[in-house]
Amino acid sequence: LIALCALLLAVLAVPGPARADNPIVQTIYTADPAPLVHDGRVYLYTGRDEDGSTYFTMKEWRVWSSADMVNWTDHGSPLNLASFSWASDNAWAGQAVERNGKFYWYVPMKVRATGRMAIGVAVADSPTGPFRDALGRPLADTNEIDPTVFIDDDGQAYLYWGNPNLWYVKLNPDMISFSGSPAKIPLTTAGFGTRTGDANRPTLYEEGPWVYKRGGLYYLVYAAKCCSEFIAYSTAPGPLGPWTYRGTVMPTQGSSFTNHPGLIDFAGGSYFFYHNGALPGGGGYTRSVAVEKFSYRSDGTLPTITMTTA
C-alpha cells in the first residue's frame, strides 16, 4: 500500500501543464505569489504550505512558468531551507528579479542561532535555478519578513520588507550588498490609511509589500489590516515616497486569513496574483495562489479586483 501511495504521489508530481483556471496550482498548496516577466514568459515564485500545516509550516519555495497565462509548467523546488545553512524554519514570502543575466531571489526565513526572522538572498543563472545562497548569512536581519525588490529606470535597486515596520534599503549593483543602511518608511495615515482598534499600529499597512513603477508613478501594494487582512495600495512620485494612500485593491482574503499581492503587465494585459484557501482542505495555512486579469483606470489607479473563487 505504501508503494502504491508513493507511485500515485510521484505521478501527481510529474512536471507538466497545470489547469488554466484558479487556483493556478491544484496539486499542492501554494502561497505568496511573486510573478516575474522574463524573455516572453511569466515565472511565478511561490511558497508551499505543507499538507496539514497548522501554522505557516513552509520548508521550500517553488517555481512555475507560463507563456500564455493559461498553461503552467511546474519547475519544482529550486530553493528550500536547506539551501541556507543558517536558516531553520519559515520559508515565507519572497520575490525574484533579474539583473545582468542573473536571478536574485530574496526570501525571509528564521535564523537558527537567534530565532529571529531575516531576509536571505539566493542567486541563479536561470529563472528556474538552481539557486544557491549568495552570502552564506542573512542580508537583512531586522526580525521582519516579506521582501520585495524593485529596480528603477536609473538602475538603482531597492529592497523593501517588513511587518510591523516597512523597511527599505538601496542595493548596490551586485544586488547582494547595501548602499547605505536600512531605514524605516514613515507609516503615516496619509500614506497608508487609518487602522482603528490597535494603538500600536495606527495605519493599515500589515505586510507583503510589492513595489513597482508604471507610467511614471510608483505603486506600493500590500496586505492591509483593519479587522481582517485585505489588499490595499499607496502611490508616490518617487521610490521613497512620499506615499499617498489610494484604497482597496482586493477587499477579502477568501477562506484564508492572509492575502499577498503580486502585479505584472504581460503580453498587453495586467495581472493581479494573490492567494486564498480555494482548494479542498484549503484555509489559512493551506493556501493556493490565483490570478485575475484586470485593467488600470485611465488615471492609473487600480480597480477593485474580485476573486474568481475564494
Residues near ligand FUB (CB under 6 A) are: 31-32, 47, 56, 92-93, 145-146, 207-208, 223, 258, 260
As measured in angstroms, the least distance from the Cβ of 231 to ligand FUB is: 11
Q: Which is nearer to ligand FUB, 56 or 150 (CB)?
A: 56
Q: Tell me how far apart the alpha carbons of residues 42 and 19 are, in angstroms, rounded to a whole number.
A: 16
As measured in angstroms, the least distance from the Cβ of 7 to ligand FUB is: 31
User: Amino acid letter at 73?
Assistant: T
How do beta strands 132-133 and 29-38 pair?
unpaired
As measured in angstroms, the least distance from the Cβ of 1 to ligand FUB is: 33
As measured in angstroms, the least distance from the Cβ of 160 to ligand FUB is: 13
Q: Which is nearer to ligand FUB, 19 or 79 (CB)?
A: 79
Which neighbouring-strand residues pair with 28?
Answer: none
As measured in angstroms, the least distance from the Cβ of 106 to ligand FUB is: 12
How do beta strands 60-66 and 73-74 pair?
antiparallel
Give every CB contact of residue 91 below 8 A, 6+ residues apart in sequence. Answer: 47, 48, 58, 59, 60, 61, 80, 81, 107, 109
Give every CB contact of residue 199 below 8 A, 6+ residues apart in sequence. Answer: none
Q: Which is nearer to ligand FUB, 152 or 251 (CB)?
A: 251
Which neighbouring-strand residues pair with 43?
Answer: 36, 65
Which neighbouring-strand residues pair with 262?
Answer: 273
Q: Which is nearer to ligand FUB, 142 or 156 (CB)?
A: 142
Q: Which is nearer to ligand FUB, 145 or 220 (CB)?
A: 145
As measured in angstroms, the least distance from the Cβ of 195 to ligand FUB is: 17
Q: Which is nearer to ligand FUB, 257 or 266 (CB)?
A: 257
As measured in angstroms, the least distance from the Cβ of 28 to ligand FUB is: 14
Q: Tell me how far apart the alpha carbons of residues 116 and 101 are, in angstroms, rounded to a whole number.
A: 32
**Residue 310 CB-density burial (10 A; 0-12 exposed, 13-18 middle, 19+ buried):** middle
The distance from CA 26 to its chain's CA centroid, rounded to whole angstroms, is 19
User: How far, CA to CA in Å, does 46 sit from each of 76, 88, 131, 216, 273?
Assistant: 11, 19, 14, 28, 11
Q: Which is nearer to ligand FUB, 52 or 238 (CB)?
A: 52
Q: Tell me how far apart the alpha carbons of residues 135 and 122 are, in angstroms, rounded to a whole number.
A: 8
Q: Which is nearer to ligand FUB, 111 or 223 (CB)?
A: 223
As measured in angstroms, the least distance from the Cβ of 286 to ligand FUB is: 11
